[in-house]
Chains A and B, each alone.
Chain A
């Protein structure tokens, strides 16, 4: 699984990169405009998105590093109530205590499962935490201001995550949902030497969790900074590829074509969902990419991008496969996909935000 997933990811990244190069090349060939000017405009757009977004990515990786350095799974398991509905509700808002983006959430959830976290709570947390946390709140507000997009993003995410969590709470048993490795294979790592590096889906390394005494402040900080640096490279590439694509689309694709796609209440939503899935951009920064489409695409499609993307994309799908059984991963993709699709279309047809 590790190597396969990694090869698959590499292939997808290459395809996206190739596509980008092809679009730019084609445009340079067809367009009579000065290529130097075009590259300058493209570069300004790309760097604008990157410069505005990267501080949030760095903050996210730092928080994730701090969590890994200073919190044990016991701390997290302690706050979850026993009642399934109440627990699912807690899962929805747990992101406020553990601000992790979709990149950081999968390892945390897997670690929690080995500590006996109810399946439904983990699922809800998995889907909700990448959006419902202070860092994403701040970055979305930076990009769109306080208004319909910000509120819509949080409300829709809460509804979808809570509903999917409830489905799991009522209908699933852990052994049918989780891969064996998430149930017990980790146990020796959790309780024992804590030495073995564990990778999930080939993409994210699960940092070692030990039951050992807490780290010293300085040691923990050092570890957190090192982890943040690593995670910047892990996640930064998705941001950079996403920014390149968004800048290329703005520079290269004609306004008319974008408007044709973006004004249709149904096609716009589907396009933005596909884009969210392919770009796999971290939820802390995806608002800045959505901003690039704000002038041309419907509000419902922007909200679908901002809610579906953080729940499901290429990289989180690969990571899901490391935690859940395949059949369950299909549900974890399809339920959010359909729900955000319907909500997005409904918003386009009924609301003017």
Chain B
């Protein structure tokens, strides 16, 4: 299960013992490095990266793409030139002159484990966390971030996170009554919700989906039963204090609920 860095191994008499399977594995290793590099490039180009991490850290993926491709190409070049040297050596019947030749061996197990991200990344269709991924309910409060200028965001441009933060700061729960709201999010319902209530929810992601946290605004909408769980919608309406899950909260009284495409950035970045 281990990779050793065996310098000058080829000068010994077992140089060709493992040639076939060993070479195959070294080529697979190279393919995994280049494959991971291309996977990162594809994520960046397609925008799929936003399904996984906070956009603020996308530069790290540029770095990863570059480093994978550099190590992969170096490894390929190494194998190619090593072969040429082998051929010469065989031809001359002189197994010398592998100066500075460093050769990492690798086991099938390590190759299999390292291929897992590539396999999952290419075979499982990429999609962001949605309503099915909510565990433990959708929060109706949001933690304050380090750099919050929520109150400078005009009310009609506020997203779910901005609104929850605005609520946090205001001790009087009725202070927002009558304010216009227009937010985008996915439909989230639980069996315990009233028949005319749903939540318009978003996941917040500070770093990557490991810290994803579902937040949402309760919405009053008579035709809620017709809305499929997880669908992305834009809700227009106004706020009115009401009871939701046993709490007094500002609730969106919807005037319009329209189905929209999933946004380019499915997560909100606190």
Q: Do A and B interact?
A: yes
Q: Chain B 1-38 against A: per-residue CB contact (8 Å), 1 yes, 0 no?
A: 11111111100000000000000000001000100100
Bound form: Cα–Cα A234–B78 in Å: 19
Chain B interface size, under 10 / 10 to 19 / 20 to 34 / 35 or more: 35 or more
Binds B, one of A38-46, A110-118, A159-167: A38-46
CB contacts (< 8 Å) of B192 on chain A: these are: none
Q: Chain A 18-57 against B: per-residue CB contact (8 Å), 1 yes, 0 no?
A: 0000000000000001100111110111111111101110
Beta-carbon contacts under 8 Å, B118-151 to A: 120-121, 124-129, 132-133, 135-136, 146
Contact A142 B6 (CB under 8 A): no
The minimal Cβ–Cβ distance linking A134 to chain B, given in whole angstroms, is 15
Bound form: Cα–Cα A79–B106 in Å: 36
Does any Cβ of A come within 8 Å of B173's Cβ?
A: no
Bound form: Cα–Cα A50–B53 in Å: 10
CB contacts (< 8 Å) of A70 on chain B: these are: none
Bound form: Cα–Cα A311–B93 in Å: 50
Residue pairs across A and B with Cβ atoms less than 8 A apart, 10 shown, are A37-B132, A45-B210, A47-B117, A48-B208, A50-B117, A51-B208, A55-B63, A197-B9, A225-B71, A256-B136
Bound form: Cα–Cα A15–B127 in Å: 30
Contact B63 A43 (CB under 8 A): no
Closest partner residue, chain B, to A231 (CB atom): B3
Does any Cβ of B come within 8 Å of A93's Cβ?
A: no
The minimal Cβ–Cβ distance linking A201 to chain B, given in whole angstroms, is 9
Closest partner residue, chain B, to A34 (CB atom): B132
Binds B, one of A275-283, A284-292, A330-338: A284-292
CB contacts (< 8 Å) of A142 on chain B: these are: 57, 60, 207
Does any Cβ of A come within 8 Å of B68's Cβ?
A: yes
Closest partner residue, chain A, to B77 (CB atom): A222
Contact B8 A195 (CB under 8 A): yes
The minimal Cβ–Cβ distance linking B15 to chain A, given in whole angstroms, is 14
Does any Cβ of B come within 8 Å of A267's Cβ?
A: no
Beta-carbon contacts under 8 Å, B94-133 to A: 100, 102, 104, 106, 109-111, 113-114, 116-117, 120-121, 124-129, 132-133
Does any Cβ of B come within 8 Å of A181's Cβ?
A: no
Contact B5 A205 (CB under 8 A): yes
Does any Cβ of A come within 8 Å of B211's Cβ?
A: yes
Binds B, one of A5-13, A120-128, A148-156, A168-176: A5-13
Closest partner residue, chain A, to B78 (CB atom): A226
Does any Cβ of A come within 8 Å of B195's Cβ?
A: no
Secondary structure dominating the interface of A: helix
The minimal Cβ–Cβ distance linking B83 to chain A, given in whole angstroms, is 16
Which residue, of B57, B104, B129, has the highest number of chain A Cβ atoms within 10 A?
A: B104
Contact A145 B71 (CB under 8 A): no
CB contacts (< 8 Å) of B74 on chain A: these are: 222, 225-226, 229
Chain A interface size, under 10 / 10 to 19 / 20 to 34 / 35 or more: 35 or more
Contact A233 B121 (CB under 8 A): no
CB contacts (< 8 Å) of A44 on chain B: these are: 51-52, 126-129, 133, 209
Contact B109 A226 (CB under 8 A): no
Does any Cβ of B come within 8 Å of A326's Cβ?
A: no
The minimal Cβ–Cβ distance linking B267 to chain A, given in whole angstroms, is 10
Binds B, one of A80-88, A94-102, A238-246, A340-348: A238-246
Does any Cβ of A come within 8 Å of B61's Cβ?
A: yes
Bound form: Cα–Cα A222–B133 in Å: 44
CB contacts (< 8 Å) of A231 on chain B: these are: 3
Bound form: Cα–Cα A223–B78 in Å: 11
Bound form: Cα–Cα A197–B119 in Å: 33
The minimal Cβ–Cβ distance linking B137 to chain A, given in whole angstroms, is 9
Contact B70 A48 (CB under 8 A): no
Listed from nearest, the 3 A-B pairs whose CB atoms lie closest are A48-B209, A255-B136, A52-B208
